[in-house]
Amino acid sequence: MREWWRDAVIYQIYPRSYQDDSGDGVGDLPGITRRLDHVAALGVDCIWLSPIFMSPQKDMGYDVSDYTDIDPLFGTLEDFDALIARAHDLGLKVITDQVLSHTSDQHPWFKASRKSRDNAKADWYVWADPLPDGSPPTNWHSHFGGPAWEFDPQRGQYYLHNFLASQPDLNFHNPDVVDAILDTCKFWLDRGLDGFRLDTVNYYFHDQKLRSNPPAQAKPQVMATDLYGMQDNIYNKTRPENLGFLERLRSLTDQYDDIMMVGEVGEMGRRSIEIMGEYTAGKDRLHMAYSFAMLGPDFSVDHFRGCIEGFQKGAPDGHPKWSFSNHDVPRHVTRWADHAVSEDAIARLACAMLMSFEGTVGIYQGEELGQTETELTYEELTDPPALRYWPAVKGRDGCRTPMAWEKDAPNAGFSTGTPWLPVKPPQAARAVDTQGDDSVMAFYREVIALRKSEPALTTGKTAFVDLGEPVLAFHRIAKDQTLTCVFNLSKDTQNLTVEGGASFVGPHAAALNGDTLALPGNGFAYLAGVTGLSRDQ
C-alpha cells in the first residue's frame, strides 16, 4: 500500500501566529484546534507545528529547554492531546518541529554540562579549549552573526553554537546524547504524533578534529548576519556520521505505524539537492527531505527544472518535499513580485506549479490567502538577527505576522489582546472571510482537489519538455494517464503549438484555439491528450 505521505500536502502552522484563544496576544494550541476546520477544508493531509515545547523563546521556540513538555505560552499537554484528537477526527496527520541539534542554554542538560569538565553531562555539548592566543578553536561562523563559539568562564572553554549563543550545540558523538534524544522522540510518538519535521537535519555532527573550514571555492555570498557563504562548510555540518543517526531515528519510527520524517537541509543551491538525495536514499534514512532550494529569489525555468532533475538524478529511490514559503523566508508572493502580473496572479501560478510537482508539497499558513510580506518598523521587530543588524537585515518577522481571519475585526480576528506582531491593513485585506468563490483560497482548494483526483499528479513520473525561458513545461506520466503541465514565468504572453487534440484538465489561465495555446502573463494549464509541444518564437 502506498504510504500516505508520498503525495501529501502538508500545511505548516506557526503556532505563535495562528489563533490566540487566551487573549495574551500569542497564538496557542486551543486556537489552532478551533481553526482546524479551515485547514481540513483546504483538502490538505497533514499539519506541521513549529516548536511548541518549553523554551525561553530567545529564538521563538527553536531553543528548547524541555523536550517533553508544552510551553505554557501555547497551552498544556492536555491541549496537545485535544489537538491531536481533533485533527485525527478530521483526517489530518500531525507532525511537530523537532529541534535536536541544539538546546537552550536553560536546558538542565546544559546547566549541568557547563558546571565542570568532569560531571556526568560534561561531554553532552561541544566544548573546546581556546587556541594559545585565546581565540576560538575554529573559524566556523554562527548563522546569527559572529563566531560559532562562545567562551564560558565557568568551564574556561568555548562551546559551539551554530545559531544564537543561547543555543548550544549538543555533542552527537556522545552515545548517551543520542539515546536521550531518541527517548524524547519516542515520548511524542507514544502520545500519538504522526511524525517529525527535523530542524537543521544536517547539523547534528561536527568534525571531532575541529578543523577550520577552507574559503569558499565559488564566489562568496556575504550577508550581514551570515558569513557561511565565505566558507566551504565541510567540517561544521553535513558530516558523514549524520547518516548513522538518521538510521537510528528511522529504526525508532519504523516501530510505529504510518510515521513520517521530513528533514530540513540547511543548505542553499544545488548542493542542497545532493544532500536531500543522500539523506533519503534507501529505506533506512529519512522518508523525505526539503531544502531552501526553492525558498530563495530564483524564479526561472532553469532553476525549478534544475532542482527537480537534480533530485531525480541524485536520488532515484529517494523522496523530495517542495515548498515555496515558510517561517524563515519572505513570502513568495512578495519575493517573486518582479515576475508578477499581479499579486493574485503570481499566487495562483505558484499554487498551480507547486501542486504539479512530483513528491510531497508543503504550504505555509496564509499562502492559501495569497498573503504578502508585512513591512515592519524597527520598533515592531522581535527577530534576533534583525534587531542586531537592522536596517541591512529585515529579519523573519515579516512572514510571521498573525493569520488574518476577519478583515474588520480587531487584529483581523487573531486576538482580543495586543498581538506579538502587528496585523497590518494589507494583510487584513486578505483575511479568510474575504475569500469568495473566485479567490486565491478557493483556487487552492480546487487545485489541491485536482492533485488528489488525477493519478498523473499523485503517482506520475516527471519528464521535462525543452521550451526555454520563460515557459516551464513537463509531462506527469502515470500508468493510465499523462498530463502536460505548462507555466508562464513571465509577465508577457507566450504562445505554444500543441499537437494531439489537447484539452484542459482542471483550472487554467490560458486559451486553447485549435493547436495554439496562449499563456498570458503568469498563465498556466494542465492538458490531456498532448502528443507534441513547441513554443512559437
- Residues carrying an active site annotation: 199, 267
- Nearest-5° angle of CA 211, CA 214, CA 217? 155
DSSP state letters, 486-537: EEE-SSS-EEEEEES--EE-S--B-EEETTEEEE-TT-EEEEES-SEEEE--
For 458: left if phi > 0, alpha if psi spans -120 to 50, otherwise beta; the answer is: alpha
How many angstroms separate the CA atoms of 267 and 329, rounded?
Answer: 14
For 238: left if phi > 0, alpha if psi spans -120 to 50, otherwise beta; the answer is: left
How many angstroms separate the CA atoms of 246 and 279, rounded?
Answer: 8
Element housing 349 (H / E): helix 343-354
* Mutual angle of helices 241-253 and 269-280, in 10-degree steps: 50
Q: Provide the CA 248 distance to its chain's centre, in angstroms.
A: 23
How many angstroms separate the CA atoms of 182 and 187, rounded?
Answer: 9
| Residue at 77: amino acid letter | L
Q: Tell me, what DSSP letter sits at residue 245? A: H
Residue 70 sits at φ, ψ, to 5 deg, of -90, 135
**How would you classify the pairing of strands 494-499 and 516-519?**
antiparallel
C-alpha cell at 162: 551554530
